[in-house]
């Protein structure tokens, strides 16, 4: 189980606009067997632009990873995102699915 947080205050070089970004993550990983592992978690992302407008994004994810051989693994990941923003046309929801085949040399 991992809990981590981050705060970033940034200034753009081209126009000196400032922004604040906050992140908070909660991650859990668990071996289900010697070859199968599960990961799940949640992430909150908050930001504020120079005009004081804010946005909050929640991301939830679930992943399964299977060791196929000594150097090969297969991973399936699902992520759901929901963004709520005070900025015009900046709200969204997203469902994302990823499949990875990894071979280590």
Question: Given this model, what pLDDT does residue 15 score?
Answer: 80
Would you tell me how many other CB atoms lie within 10 Å of the CB of residue 42? 14
Q: What is the pLDDT of residue 90?
A: 94
- CA 62 to CA 35: how far, in whole Å? 17
Task: Identify the weakest region by mean pLDDT among 12-16, 27-31, 55-59.
Answer: 12-16
* Alpha-carbon span 81 to 21, nearest angstrom: 17
DSSP secondary structure letter of residue 34 = S
Question: What residues pair up with 39 in beta bridges, in sequence order?
Answer: 29, 63
Q: Is the pLDDT of residue 19 over 90?
A: no
Q: Over range 12-23, report the average pLDDT.
A: 86
User: What is the average per-residue pLDDT within 70-76?
Assistant: 97
**Entry pTM:** 0.83
**Best CA proximity match to 72, nearest among 93, 94, 38, 100:** 100
Instruction: Give the pLDDT score at 16.
Output: 79
């Amino acid at each position: 189980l991992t809990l981590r947080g981050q705060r970033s205050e940034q200034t753009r070089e081209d126009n000196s606009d400032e922004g604040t970004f906050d992140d908070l993550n909660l991650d859990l990983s668990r071996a289900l067997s010697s070859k199968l592992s599960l990961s799940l978690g949640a992430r909150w992302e908050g930001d504020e632009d120079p005009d004081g407008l804010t946005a909050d994004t929640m991301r939830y994810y679930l992943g399964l990873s299977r060791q196929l051989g000594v150097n090969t693994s297969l991973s399936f990941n699902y992520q759901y995102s929901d963004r709520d923003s005070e900025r015009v046309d900046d709200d969204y929801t997203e469902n994302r699915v990823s499949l990875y085949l990894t071979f280590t040399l």
